[in-house]
């Protein structure tokens, strides 16, 4: 399918342009808790929805990483952004690497928050059944969010996350994107890339831990650094928003 300009918000007016890519469970609203604290004088941020999510719920597609990348590049072109940095949460972390590869010379820096590596994610049969089944089972979505935040956060927050996920994504897109981020392996394409990278891991995220980052991102990107948040799991935007903004903007500004 041809690329589309995704629905998006733009915040700030600074010279360093940044596109923030959401994860599997959220639309662009996943970044809402950090937005009040972003430096709009130094940066301009764009927050798009993927096809099948948020205001793009009714835009159909193949729901692949390559398609996300094409659409994000189309957005950058529409905004007139020749160069830009990328922030990616979870699934957005692997999608932003596809953008980098498909827009050579345009991406300045990458920031991955609990970011899926370019190799995808291995699953045993039981875990795959949970993740795949969660497309139609809200309880499965809740179990995944609880697991990846260390089984330590309040029930009402878990319920809110599930409700947002159900409201802001179609089951078809949600299920297809699982294959995209979990079973797409292009790590040989990124290995040795000199793009500066910051990967942020939550100490309470057993799925995409600091050890996973060391064995993937830090192996493939010679200019990568790792930061671990002691008080976060998989959702640093919700769990530690102020620390996250500080880490992102400190890295992007250097």
Spell 8-40 as b/e; 16+ CB within 10 A means b.
bbebbeeebbbbbbbbbbbbbbbbebbbeebee
- By C-alpha distance, which of 218, 168, 169 is closest to 193? 218
Specify the pLDDT at position 71: 98
Specify the pLDDT at position 1: 75
Strands (E), the chain: 8-12, 16-21, 43-48, 84-89, 107-113, 197-202, 224-229
pLDDT in 10s for each residue of the chain, 254 residues: 799 999 999 999 999 999 999 999 999 999 999 999 999 999 999 999 999 999 999 999 999 999 999 999 999 999 999 999 999 999 999 999 999 999 999 999 999 999 999 999 999 999 999 999 999 999 999 999 999 999 999 999 999 999 999 999 999 999 999 999 999 999 999 999 999 999 999 999 999 999 999 999 999 999 999 999 999 999 999 999 999 999 999 999 98
Specify the pLDDT at position 254: 86
């Amino acid at each position: 399918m041809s690329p589309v300009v995704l629905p998006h918000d733009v915040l700030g007016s600074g010279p360093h342009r940044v596109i923030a890519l959401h994860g599997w469970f959220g639309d662009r609203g996943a970044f809402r808790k950090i937005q009040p604290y972003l430096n709009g004088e130094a940066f301009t941020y764009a927050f798009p929805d993927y096809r099948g999510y948020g205001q793009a719920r009714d835009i159909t597609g193949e729901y692949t990483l390559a398609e996300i990348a094409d659409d994000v590049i189309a957005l950058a072109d529409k905004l007139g952004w020749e160069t830009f940095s990328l922030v990616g949460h979870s699934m957005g972390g692997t999608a932003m690497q596809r953008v980098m590869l498909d827009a050579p010379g345009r991406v300045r820096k990458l920031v991955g928050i609990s970011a899926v590596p370019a190799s995808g994610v291995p699953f045993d049969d039981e875990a795959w059944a949970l993740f795949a089944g969660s497309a139609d089972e809200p309880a499965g979505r809740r179990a995944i969010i609880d697991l990846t935040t260390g089984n330590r956060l309040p029930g009402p927050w878990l319920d809110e996350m599930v409700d947002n996920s159900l409201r802001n994504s179609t089951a078809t897109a949600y299920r297809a994107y699982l294959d995209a981020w979990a079973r797409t392996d292009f790590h040989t394409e990124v290995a040795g890339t000199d793009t500066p990278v910051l990967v942020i891991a939550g100490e309470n995220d057993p799925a995409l831990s600091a050890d996973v980052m060391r064995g993937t991102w830090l192996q493939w990107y010679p200019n990568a650094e790792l930061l671990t948040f002691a008080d976060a799991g998989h959702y640093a935007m919700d769990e530690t928003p102020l620390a996250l903004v500080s880490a992102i903007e400190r890295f992007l500004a250097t």
